[in-house]
Amino acid sequence: MLGGVTARLGIGLPVYNGERYLAQTLDSLRAQTYPDFEVLILDNASTDSSGDIARAVVAADSRFRYERKPETTGGPQNFNDVFNRMDNELFAWCAADDLHHPDFFAASVRALDALPGAIGGFTAVEMIDDHNQWVRDELPSIRWSHPDPGERMLDMIGFGHACQSIFSVYRRSTLAAVEPMCTCWGSDRVMLAELALHGPTAIAPERYFRNRDHAGRITHGKGRSNSYYGKKAPTKAITFHYASHLRRAIRNAPLSPADVSRAQRAYSRWTLRNTRNFARSAARFVIESVRR
């Protein structure tokens, strides 16, 4: 809240030991041309200098505030918590190692506002390295604005993309209507699949989102341990868990009866494509249940 007035866009930045890139990420946020935003940096009890970096920016820029948790709760939970601590009409997550072109949020909000029924706005993506140098353009096989919600869900639950669109600008009301990030590997993927049932995401063509590919990122397996998920051990029955989530998502989404049928048919196609994974996942689920 800036000067007693809530900004239209709230940007939530969950961080844990992100000192290596955090200052650059915050600089890219401070340089945004979109005028109506505020940022909450939620520190998951970092043991490095992340807090010092964040507090320096807060002291210099009133659009930023910093909060620190007394103990680490895990990555997905910190994403959920930073969302729950903000109350803006629009919301976007920001990772502590990515960069944004100065017009990223302006372009994303403009795209969202221009597409009827859109739940989110995003831009095209380019990958950068440790030194902010271009690596490649991302070309995900996602039909963002397909009229069939089941087809959008199928694209999002598949592996034709790397989940960068979790950093879209979303309508807060839509994020509040879906399940929070779960304590499992791929929690962003299942959330994106559920979001896709609620409406399309509008994509601006400019490559304004700069996703950093570096050796220490979680997707390369670095830090992929129980500590990332918090005190609760993550399920290893991933496909089984995804299936349960998708069934609930279809049941709870604001769909017409015809769209529910389309989504259920898409879900059936997904299960047929993953028959082997289901067999392995079901076995893991039984083992996990016995161990509880």
Domains of the chain: 9-229 (3.90.550.10), 238-291 (no CATH)
Q: How far apart are CA 155 and CA 198, in angstroms?
A: 14
Tokens of 246: 């998708």
| Cα dihedral 21, 162, 171, 36 sign | positive
Evaluate if residue 230 carries a pLDDT over 90.
no
pLDDT attached to residue 55:
98
> What percentage of the chain has pLDDT greater than the value 70?
88
Residue with tokens 């502590």: 96
pLDDT attached to residue 271:
92
Model pLDDT for residues 107-151, shown as the tens digit of each residue: 999 999 999 999 999 999 999 999 999 999 999 989 999 999 999
Secondary element (H or E) of residue 107: helix 104-114
Kindly report the backbone phi and psi dihedral angles of residue 91, in degrees, each rounded to the nearest multiple of 5, phi listed first.
Answer: -145, 145
Give the number of other Cβ atoms within 10 Å of residue 254's Cβ.
11
Evaluate if residue 223 carries a pLDDT over 60.
no
Evaluate if residue 181 carries a pLDDT over 60.
yes
pLDDT band of residue 215 (cuts 50, 70, 90) is: confident
Model pLDDT for residues 17-57, shown as the tens digit of each residue: 999 999 999 999 999 999 999 999 999 999 999 999 999 99
Evaluate if residue 268 carries a pLDDT over 80.
yes
pLDDT attached to residue 214:
81
Model pLDDT for residues 81-112, shown as the tens digit of each residue: 999 999 999 999 999 999 999 999 999 999 99
Q: How far apart are CA 290 and CA 258, in angstroms?
A: 40
Strand segments (E) across 79-213: 90-93, 99-100, 120-128, 134-137, 169-171, 201-212
| Alpha helix segments (H runs only) across 161-201 | 172-177, 187-198
